[in-house]
Structure 1
Amino acid sequence: MTQDSQGESPVRAGWPLYEVFVRGKRGLNHVHVGSLHAADDQMAVRHARDLYTRRNEGVSIWVVRAAHIVATSPDERDPFFAPSGDKVYRHPTFYAIPDGVPHM
């Protein structure tokens, strides 16, 4: 099979881009570790496992099509997040976190 100028086959160039998130240990958050192209969701999970957990780094993998991610822009930061500033009950300032709680 021939390759294009970026080294991808014509078939693979049409595959959707997936973003990969891996959780390292139980109780930790998933962290973005990279991207990959795959023909479908199941192939994306298998390829993510092979590429990003080769040394048993993860206990959970999430893959999501990059086209489905919706995000705010840095320009919207102040007006978008401003309403949460006046809701002090959302901030953990009214109680002490016990020393035995490792990831909060």
Structure 2
Amino acid sequence: MTESLNASWPLWEVFVRSSRGLSHVHAGSLHAPDATMALRNARDLYTRRNEGTSVWVMPSDSISSSDPDSKGGFFESPQGKDFRHATYYTKSEGVKHL
């Protein structure tokens, strides 16, 4: 009975920010009836050993992505727009974090 109930619940994607990192990283997926339960279940499943400082959940069907099979055309830089690459710029003296 639990399997059929979980199958009717939406799928949620879980992102966790660890205590040593700055970015949220995809940790996995889970089924839950709503955002509140998804967040609680994500905390229980993906931060059991106090490795997280923040958890995000979002419905899987809200994610849009590019097609990995067409990455060449999608990520290819248009010809004549080399200025978009940082290789043509020099670092200014005294500017940190560049």
CA contact (8 A) 1:26 1:59 kept: no
Q: CA–CA distance in 2 between the matches of 1:87 and 1:36?
A: 42
The DSSP-based 3-state class of the residue aligned with 1:83 is coil
**Aligned equivalent of 1:25:** 19
CA contact (8 A) 1:24 1:57 kept: yes
**Aligned equivalent of 2:10:** 16
**Aligned equivalent of 2:69:** 75
Equivalent residues, number: 94
Q: CA–CA distance in 2 between the matches of 1:94 and 1:82?
A: 24
Question: Structure 1: which 5+ residue stretches go unaligned?
Answer: none
> In structure 1, what residue type is equivalent to 2:86?
H
Give the alignment of 1:1-104 within 5 angstroms. 2-3=1-2, 8=3, 10-25=4-19, 28-83=22-77, 86-89=81-84, 91=86, 94-95=90-91
Instruction: Say if 1:84 and 1:27 are closer, same or farther in 2 by CA, change over 3 A.
Output: farther
Q: So what's the TM-score if we normalise by structure 1?
A: 0.73
| CA RMSD, Structure 1 to Structure 2 (Å) | 2.8
Q: In the TM superposition, what is the alpha-carbon distance from 1:33 to its structure 2 partner?
A: 1.0
